[in-house]
Structures are given as C-alpha cells and as structure tokens.
C-alpha cells in the first residue's frame, strides 16, 4: 500500500519535472558529445562566477566527462564563463527557484533525458565530492566498481567547512581553492535518525547545528545526501539530493553493523561571500522553508560568525575522514 | 612451447587483445573463447585485431552467464582445440581477458617445467570449506537450480527451500566426490586430456550441467580422478568480496601486486593504465623460482570484508546505522555511569579524576546543560553542551561522546534530576557499568537547609524517577554491568565500593586508595528522613539510615596483595 502511494508520488514528481523542464532554455547544448560510458555532473547555479573556475577544475580532475549546468537568472559573468567551456552544456531559466522545488524539477528533467543508464553526480557549486581513493582513482573507477558490486546509489554526507576566525574576514578570489581558507570541520557531532517512510537517514549536526540551531535543533539543516546515482529514467530526487524515489535507492547504509562504502561532500559555504549571500537569500526567500535557514544566518550575521572551536579538525585528505568515521571505504579496497 | 592458454573473453576487448599479445610474445599458443552474447561485429573486429598472430585460435562460442554451465562448456571447447592443435603444450592455463600476468611469462614457464606432473587447481571437499556465499555448499551438488540466481533471486531461494522441505536429493554419479575451488586453474595435458576423453564424460557433463556454479566444481572434482599430483592452489591471484564478487585491482595496487610474486592476477580494472604498463615485469632469473606469497594482498582484502560485514563497533554514521536498540554493544568503549556518588561526596569528580586519570564528567544529562569533564561549552568532536541539542538525540550524543574519546575511559554522573530519556540505552549497553547509590538525592535536599515540608514534593518526585530507573536496571533486558545499593548500605562501607569502582575504571593502574574523598556532613540526616516519613512521604530508596551509620568513614588499610599465581 505504501509502496503504491510512493509510486504515484514518484510519477507525480516525474510529471512535474517534465512540465517544469519547459522553463529551461538551452544556451549551449553539447549533449551530443556525451558517450555511453561518460560520468555526468548536474548542477544549478545563480551568481557563482567567483566559484565556477575552481568547481570545473576540481571535477575535471576527478574525471567528470560532461557538465550539465542550469543558470537560474545569474546577473554576473558566470553563464558566459560556463558557456565557453568545451565540456559544458548550459541551460538558462529565470523562473523562480522555489517553485521548481529548489531546482530539483529542472534537474530531474535533464537527468531523465540525458543520464538514463549513466552515472550522474548531482551537486551544488559549493559542494566538492570526496570518495575513498579519490586521490588515486578517478570517478570512473568508482562507477565501475559500484556497477560490478551491483550498487545503484552512493551516499556522501555534507561536511560543512569553515575558516578559523570570523567567516566574513576570509578572502576568496576567483579560482582559489576554497579549502585553503575554509579548511576546518567538526569531526564528531553528527546525529541521525531513520526516515521510516523513505528509508533514508536524516543526518544533522556539525557547526551549523552547534552554533545556529542549538535551541531549535529540529530546524538544523539536513546533511544526508545521495549525490552519485546510476540513473534510470523513472528515478526522482524528492528533496534536494537528500532522498530519492524509488526508496530502495536511499539505503546507502548498512543496518546489520557493517559499513557500506560512502563519501563526503565538502561544503564550501562559509567564505566571505557568505554574509552577503545570507542577507540576499533571506530577502529572496526562495530557498527551503522560505529561506528560514538564511534568515537565521542573517540574524546572526550582525556578529560575523566564527565557527571555529578548539575541537575543530583541519582537513588533510579522505583517509583522515575515513579514520574519523565520517565516511567509509566499506568493501572497497 | 610448453604452456598453452585458454582465454575467456566477454568485454574490454582492447585489454584482451593486449593480454593475447603478452602470451603470444612468450610463445604461448592461445585459444580464445568469446561469449556468444557479444555482437558479431565486435567479435570480428577482435579477431582481426589479433589476426597477425600465428598461434592464436578462436573456438566455437557459448553463452556464458555467471554461475551457469556455459562457462564450463566454453573452457571444454577451447581446451579441446588447444590440445589438438598444439601437441607440444604440456600445461594449459585458464585465464580471462581481465587476467594480467604479473611476473614474466618465461618465469611461469620455467616454474611449470620444474613441476611437469603437477596440476595447479584449488580443490577442496565441500565439507571442509566455509567460503561459499549463500550457505549452499553441499547442497549445490544435490539440489536442482532451474532459476537464475541473479535474475530470479526469489524464485531461486523459494525453490531451494522447497527442495529442502521435501527432502529432495539428486544422485551424485558414482565414482566422484564433489570438490570445489577457484575457477582459474592450470592443468597438465595428461589430466586435461583424461577429463575430456573420459568414457563417462557424458554422465558427468549431464550431472554438472545442473549443479550450481559448475565452473567452480567441474574441473575441481574431475581432476581428482585423473591427476598424478595436485597442488591445491590457484596460480591466479583472485580475491573475492563477501558476496563472492571479485575484487578489482587499480593503479594504486601496483606495489601490493608486485610484492605478491603471483604469476597472474585478476580482475584488473580496464583503465588501470599504470598496471597494464608495469606488468608483466621483466624476467628475473634470480627470483624465478620464488613462490607466490599473497599474504599482504590477503590482509588488505580481508580487512575490507571485515569492514563491510562487521564495521567499527560503536560508530554510527551515514553508511553504518545498526539499530541502537537491537545491539548489545551500543557505545564504542566501556564507560561508567555513577548515580548518587557525587551527592555523598561533594568533591567526587576531581577526586575520581585524580585517582584514575579517566575523563570524569559531571552530570552529562543535566537539565541545564551537559557538564563535560573540562566544564567547557564544546567538547571533543565538537559536541555542544546545549541541553536541547543534546536531548534532541540523546543516544547519539552518548555514542558520539564515547566514539570521539574512545582512547580514554569515560565516567559521568547521573541522577533523577537529569533527563531520563537515555535510561534504556544505558541499561542495554554491555559497555556501560552502572553504579547506583539509591536515595542519595536526599543529601543535597537535606543540606539545602529548607524544612522537610518544603522539600516533600521534590523528594517524592526524585524518588519516583529513581525508582523507575531502578526498575529499568532490574529488567531482564538490561545488559549493562549494574551495581545497586541503598544509601544506608553504601555509607556502611563506602571505601570498599570506591575501591572496586576505581579498579574497574583504571584497570591495572588502579592503586590502593591513598586519599579519601570528603563525605558530606550527614549529621541530622536520619531526623530529616524521619521528618519526611512523618509527613507521609517514605524515602524507601535510602535504606535504613540510623545515627550510627552517618559518621564519617575512616580510610581502610588495604592489605598488601600477594600474587600467588596467575593461571
């Protein structure tokens, strides 16, 4: 009965994506270059000119073959820059972000159309995917291994990275590696519960829960993500990349005590661009729960937040994250 | 030309071509079998790509699906061609397109020449090997498997179950004893020929056709009938994960593979350019006779299996989330929960820290905030002292605290004035050691100096809460190490209890108590409790407190322990 209901829900999201897909205008369509074995990246952005160069660099080094990008009404040079890239297909829309389920509808539309039968990585411009052996094995190796192990989806928790000292006082210039300044993270204060309906874990915690949401923990942002999926046409993300339908895809964790292989999305949110952004997005109220998260930041923004504490860890590499227990090699050796 | 190769190919044809050329370059004839699922165009292109090599043959094609007879049929087909076309071949080596020779092939030939009568095939009886996945070992030879395990798992399982219930058994042909092992072998011409020419071959083939995963048992069983000498191990280094799927080698395994001294390894990732460039290594005349030693590889991959199946105890994270309620070990390391002791001894916390060197926290689950050992507002791992955040997921607050600091022993104070949601988790955790001095909450009430009538309601509330906690601790589901004593019992002989606690926390480092903690002044406590009784509120959890047992304790002189023998 429940699965029947979820099936209709999934079909609803798919239909909605088809409708919302019409809002997208192709700016440069290079999708004919996509090969059958290519690993694709899907991303929506708005006014991210400063971040895009490093973003493309990072993911090219990881072995992404083609970027499918949606520009949601940027006013800066970002779209022009993206359009120049030979491995980027770019769409544009000025339709409201919130009404497209925070961009998920647009992405679902593109994924259904271009990612069927391929591995698709869905991230934001400030999310950087880290997986076991990512320094020695390209993302294609991960995809092939997951294929061989008959695994369809791969989880990667969002890990908020922050600088030492007030966030507003960092300097981030176009092309910089954000983790040279925002190199710190909380190593062991994440908590989770299981979503009985969709089977995903709901993970919260980290510096945002500790500093901004301690008094209202329920509203602390969700950190569970399933960004890497062997896509099939019927699939749909339900809420950002936090959970999916069919719900079997959400079982990226083991319940018998073993560890499944998992990664991390390093979240470069807390840079000097953060303060302005929080104010702007709070006014725009286009984000989840009308941007309540951004409102909370904006309220706090008067006292430029310093998230660093004496137990913060400085990022070294994926092995460090695996030893701390934030991600796992699982069965991959 | 004494070594011939049978190569099964179904994908990654560019790599397969490369492998064919490696073998051919060492003057080994190769007979290739290509899966009949492969489109003809691909097949033709592959054939053309190695057309320049004289001693390469292609045999008739079979459909090769995992776990089916097709794989055996393919190797039979290829072996027949190999033995017929190349009469000089003395050993036949079964490989796939993803098998990469690690040591020089000349070394392998030399190694085999030195043992001309030996068959290298892993072959063990089903009674002795626990490796099988899915629990079917003996039964794979005695049941029928009409449904594909990969495609119709439920039907497969259902049909197995049905046969088990009905007690169905196939007859094993006379004269054979089922053996199984790695499907990659290297057999002598004599043995392979005998298997293929066996007068009973039709009977055996008909039987194995319906065995589950025959490529792991056909040659392994029949070799035993004809061999002169079996070396029960595979010359191909192949590791399997907990589901029986082969592990894949990547560029960063280069050193591991080199050290393994194995002749051939699989599976190699098709894009592992570095491995394909590096291997096979040039011939090494000095080390030519060296035996393969895959110990390091074994360790790496068995660790992976362990991580995948057992995981790190006490860790709860995005890809390991066992139900906390169903586990016996909740936290990552042993810890102690102390109820009431800090009421009896106001300076208990610093005293215990001095005595044991452990992390002694205050009331971690206090209503106002978490009182960490260092009284900071953020503790190890970034744990906040905020009570609301803590209570939002108390279980994981506890498991995080212990996981982050699992190199140290943690103790914390607990009491009826604290948030009680954590009770069941503590009681069910075999890592918890819980010490309760019941009724000790009466001491701070008594010292507050207020009259019993003021305090009556509060005392009743605390007693109710503590009683509930004690019921939890006494339930049959409680698995922690639990010590409950009344306040009266405790103050009879407090030093003995303290010594036990310290020995348990500090282990061998625990010394005899040098310093006695200062007990709260209990003069007048019996009257106070009597007052409460007079008002109708019986503090039954304190036990029977009399004037006699409320006097300050004297340090006990511990007798020097003589170790007589430690058996």
In this structure, the answer to whether residues B293 and B406 fall within a common structural domain is no
For chain B, how many residues are written? 567
Closest residue of chain B to A312, computed from CA coordinates: B382
pLDDT digits (tens, 9 = 90+) for B437-458: 999 999 999 888 777 677 888 9
Residues 271-300 of chain B whose Cβ lies under 8 A from any Cβ of chain A = 271, 300
Same-domain check for residues B255 and B350: no
pLDDT band of B567, cuts 50, 70, 90? very low
Question: Of the candidates B317, B389, B392, which has its C-beta nearest A325's C-beta?
Answer: B317
pLDDT at B454: 77
- Residue B403: its chain A contacts at CB < 8 A? 188, 325
> Which CATH number covers residue B228?
3.90.550
The pLDDT, as a whole number, for residue B169 is 84
Cα distance between residue A227 and residue A249, in whole Å: 11
Cα–Cα distance, A66 to A46 (Å, whole number): 19
What does the alpha-carbon distance between residue B75 and residue B81 come to, in Å, rounded to a whole number? 10
Domain end marker among B283, B309, B335: B309
Average pLDDT over residues B456-465: 91
Measured CA distances, B126 to A32, B118, B138, B176 (Å): 53, 22, 6, 13
B285/B352 same-domain check: no
Do B339 and B225 fall within a single domain?
Answer: no
Tokens of A170: 């960092």
Instruction: Determine the average pLDDT of the residues in B506-531.
Output: 80
Q: What is the pLDDT of residue A259?
A: 94
* Phi, psi values for residue B237, rounded to 5°: -80, 110
ipTM of the complex: 0.92
Q: How far, in Å, CA of B22 to CA of B275, rounded?
A: 14
Question: Taking CB atoms and an 8 Å limit, are B241 and A149 in contact across chains?
Answer: yes
Residues 6 or more apart whose CB falls under 8 angstroms from that of A64 comprise: A39, A40, A41, A87, A121, A139
Residue B335 shares a structural domain with residue B257: no
Higher-pLDDT residue of A282 and B252 is B252
Mean per-residue pLDDT of chain A = 90
Q: Summarize the confidence of residues B170-178 as an average pLDDT.
A: 87
Rounded average pLDDT over B246-256: 92
Do B372 and B500 fall into the same domain? Answer: yes
Distance of residue B48 Cα from the nearest chain A Cα, in angstroms: 24
Q: Between β-strands A88-93 and A25-28, what pairing exists: parallel, antiparallel or unpaired? A: antiparallel
Q: Is the peptide bond before B103 cis (omega within 30 degrees of 0)?
A: no
Q: Residue B175 domain-assigned?
A: yes
Task: Decide if A191 contacts B391 (C-beta within 8 A).
Answer: no
Query: Would B267 be classed as within a structural domain?
Result: yes
pLDDT given at position A20:
86
CA B299, CA B295: separation in Å to the nearest integer? Answer: 6
User: What does DSSP assign to residue A325?
Assistant: T
Last residue of some domain: B247, B282, B309?
B309
- Ranges of beta strands (E only) in A177-233 are 184-185, 190-194, 201-205, 228-230
Tens of pLDDT along chain A (333 residues) come to: 788 888 988 888 888 888 888 888 999 999 999 999 999 999 999 999 999 999 999 999 999 999 999 999 999 999 999 999 999 999 999 988 888 788 889 999 999 999 999 999 999 999 999 999 999 999 999 999 999 999 999 999 999 999 998 888 888 889 999 999 999 999 999 999 999 999 999 999 999 999 999 999 999 999 999 999 999 999 999 888 999 989 999 999 999 989 999 999 999 988 877 766 766 666 666 665 555 665 666 565 555 788 999 999 999 999 999 999 999 999 998
One domain, residues B381 and B251: no
Checking A27-33 for CB contacts under 8 A at 24+ apart, the result is A27/A71, A27/A79, A27/A83, A27/A90, A27/A91, A27/A92, A28/A83, A28/A88, A28/A89, A28/A90, A29/A89, A30/A66, A30/A86, A30/A87, A30/A88, A30/A89, A31/A66, A31/A68, A31/A89, A31/A114, A33/A66, A33/A87
Q: Does B320 touch chain A (CB under 8 A)?
A: yes
Instruction: Flag whether B458 is in a domain.
Output: yes
Average pLDDT along chain B: 88
Q: Per the domain annotation, does B407 fall within a domain?
A: yes
Chain B contacts in chain A segment 176-205 (CB below 8 A):
186-194, 201, 203
Indicate if B112 and B234 belong to the same structural domain: yes
DSSP state of B213: S
Number of domains in chain B: 2
My answer on whether B346 and B298 are in the same domain is: no
Q: Which domain holds residue B453?
A: 324-550
Tokens for B72, please give them. Answer: 């055996």
- Calculate the CA dihedral of residues A203, A209, A215, A217 and round it to 10 degrees: -10
Q: How many CB atoms lie within 10 A of CB A252?
A: 28
Which of residues 370 through 399 in chain B touch A, CB cutoff 8 A?
376, 378-384, 386, 388-389, 392-393, 396-397
A165: contact with B, CB 8 A cutoff? no
Q: SS in 3 state form for B480-519?
A: CEEEEEEHHHHHHCHHHHHHHHHHHHHHHHCCCCCCCCCC
Optimal mutation site among A39, A63, A188, interface B, most CBs of chain B within 10 A: A188
Identify whether residues B77 and B177 lie together within a single domain.
yes
Q: Using a cut of 0.80, tell me whether the model's pTM lies above it.
A: yes
What are the pLDDT digits (tens) for B90-117? 999 999 988 999 999 999 999 999 999 9
CA distance B405 to A129: 28
3-state secondary structure of B229: strand
B177 touches B125 (CB < 8 A): yes
**A63 contacts chain B (CB < 8 A):** no
* Eight-class DSSP state of A249: G
Looking at residue B566, what is its pLDDT? 46
Higher pLDDT, B519 or A278: B519
Compute the distance between CA of residue B491 and CA of residue B520 in angstroms, rounded to an integer. Answer: 11
Whether omega before A14 lies within 30 degrees of 0, making that bond cis, reads: no
Q: Does pLDDT of B24 surpass 50?
A: yes
CATH number of domain containing B468: 3.40.50
Buried b or exposed e, range B109-119, using 16+ CB within 10 angstroms: bebbeeeeebb
Please report whether residue B535 resides in a domain. Answer: yes
| pLDDT tens figures, B117-157 | 999 999 988 776 665 555 567 777 888 887 777 778 888 88
Q: Which of residues 112-141 of B touch A (CB under 8 A)?
A: none
């Amino acid at each position: 009965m429940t699965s029947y209901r979820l099936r209709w829900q999934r079909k609803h999201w798919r239909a909605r994506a088809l409708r919302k897909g019409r809002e997208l205008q192709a700016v440069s369509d290079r999708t004919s270059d996509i090969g059958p074995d290519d690993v694709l990246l899907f991303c929506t952005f708005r006014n991210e000119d400063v971040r895009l160069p490093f973003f493309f660099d990072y993911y090219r080094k990881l072995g992404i073959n083609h970027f499918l990008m949606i520009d949601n009404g940027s006013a800066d040079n970002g779209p022009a820059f993206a359009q120049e890239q030979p491995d980027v297909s770019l769409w544009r829309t000025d339709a409201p972000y919130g009404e497209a389920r925070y961009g998920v509808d647009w992405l679902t539309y593109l994924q259904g159309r271009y990612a069927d039968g391929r591995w698709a990585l869905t991230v934001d411009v400030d999310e950087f995917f880290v997986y076991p052996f990512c320094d020695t094995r390209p993302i294609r190796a991960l995809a092939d291994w997951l294929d061989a192990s008959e695994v369809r989806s791969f989880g990667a928790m969002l890990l908020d990275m922050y600088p030492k000292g007030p966030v507003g006082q960092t300097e981030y210039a176009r092309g910089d590696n954000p983790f040279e300044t925002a190199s710190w993270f909380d190593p062991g204060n994440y908590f989770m519960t299981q979503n009985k309906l969709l089977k995903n874990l709901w993970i919260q915690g980290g510096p945002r829960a500790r500093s901004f949401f301690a008094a209202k923990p329920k509203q602390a942002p969700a950190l569970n993500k399933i960004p890497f999926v062997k896509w099939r046409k019927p699939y749909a993300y339900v809420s950002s990349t936090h959970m999916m339908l069919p719900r079997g895809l959400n079982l990226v964790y083991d319940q018998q005590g073993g560890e499944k292989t998992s990664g991390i999305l390093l979240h470069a949110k807390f840079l000097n661009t953060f303060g302005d952004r929080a104010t702007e997005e709070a006014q725009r109220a286009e984000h989840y729960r009308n941007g309540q998260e951004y409102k909370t930041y904006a309220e706090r923004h008067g006292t430029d937040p310093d998230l660093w504490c004496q137990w913060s860890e400085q990022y070294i590499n994926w092995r460090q994250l695996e030893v701390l227990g934030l991600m796992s090699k699982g069965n991959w050796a | 030309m004494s070594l011939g190769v049978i190569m099964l190919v179904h994908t990654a044809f560019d790599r397969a071509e490369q492998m064919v050329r490696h073998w051919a370059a060492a003057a080994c004839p190769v007979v290739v079998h290509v899966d009949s699922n492969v489109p003809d165009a691909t097949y033709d292109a592959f054939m053309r790509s190695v057309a320049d090599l004289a001693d390469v043959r292609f045999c008739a094609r079979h459909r090769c699906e995992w776990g089916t007879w097709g794989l055996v049929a393919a190797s039979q087909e290829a072996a027949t061609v190999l033995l017929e076309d190349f009469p000089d071949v003395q050993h036949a080596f079964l490989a796939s397109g993803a098998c990469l020779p690690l040591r020089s092939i000349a070394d392998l030939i030399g190694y085999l020449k030195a043992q001309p009568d030996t068959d290298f095939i892993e072959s063990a009886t089903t009674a002795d090997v626990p490796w099988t996945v899915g629990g079917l070992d003996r039964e794979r030879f005695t049941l029928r498997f009409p449904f594909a395990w990969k495609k119709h798992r439920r039907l497969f399982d259902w049909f197995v179950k049905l046969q088990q219930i009905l007690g169905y058994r196939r007859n094993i042909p006379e004269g054979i004893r089922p053996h199984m092992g790695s499907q990659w072998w290297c057999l002598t011409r004599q043995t392979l020929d005998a298997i293929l020419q066996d007068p009973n071959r039709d009977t055996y083939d008909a039987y194995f056709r319906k065995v589950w995963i025959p490529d792991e048992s056909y040659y392994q069983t029949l070799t035993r009938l004809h061999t002169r000498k079996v070396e029960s191990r595979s010359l191909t280094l192949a590791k399997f994960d907990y589901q029986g799927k082969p592990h894949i080698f990547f560029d960063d395994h280069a050193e591991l593979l080199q050290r393994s001294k194995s002749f051939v390894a699989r599976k190699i990732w098709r894009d592992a350019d570095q491995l394909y460039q590096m291997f096979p290594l040039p011939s090494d005349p000095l080390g030519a006779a060296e035996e393969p030693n895959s110990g390091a590889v074994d360790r790496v991959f068995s660790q992976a299996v362990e991580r995948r199946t057992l995981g790190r105890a006490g860790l709860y994270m995005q890809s390991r989330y066992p139900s906390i309620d169903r586990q016996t070990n909740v936290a990552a390391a042993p810890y102690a929960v102390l109820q009431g002791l800090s009421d009896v001894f106001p300076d208990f916390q610093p005293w215990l820290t001095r005595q044991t060197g452990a992390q002694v926290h205050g009331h971690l689950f206090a209503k106002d905030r978490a009182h960490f050992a260092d009284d900071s507002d953020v503790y190890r791992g970034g744990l906040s002292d905020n009570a609301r955040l803590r209570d939002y997921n108390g279980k994981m607050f506890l498991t995080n605290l212990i996981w982050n600091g699992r190199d140290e022993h943690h103790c914390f104070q607990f009491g009826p004035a604290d948030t009680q949601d954590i009770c069941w988790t503590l009681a069910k955790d075999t890592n918890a050691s819980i010490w309760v001095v019941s009724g000790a909450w009466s001491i701070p009430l008594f010292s507050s100096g207020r009259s019993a009538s003021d305090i009556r309601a509060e005392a009743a509330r605390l007693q109710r809460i503590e009683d509930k906690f004690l019921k939890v601790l006494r339930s049959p589901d409680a698995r922690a190490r639990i010590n409950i004593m009344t306040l009266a019992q405790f103050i009879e002989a407090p030093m003995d209890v303290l010594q036990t606690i310290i020995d348990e926390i500090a282990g061998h480092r625990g010394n005899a108590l040098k310093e006695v903690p200062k007990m709260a002044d209990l003069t007048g406590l019996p009257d106070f409790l009597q007052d409460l009784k007079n008002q109708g509120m019986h503090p039954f959890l304190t036990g029977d407190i009399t004037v006699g047992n409320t006097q300050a304790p004297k340090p006990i002189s511990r007798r020097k322990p003589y170790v007589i023998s430690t058996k």
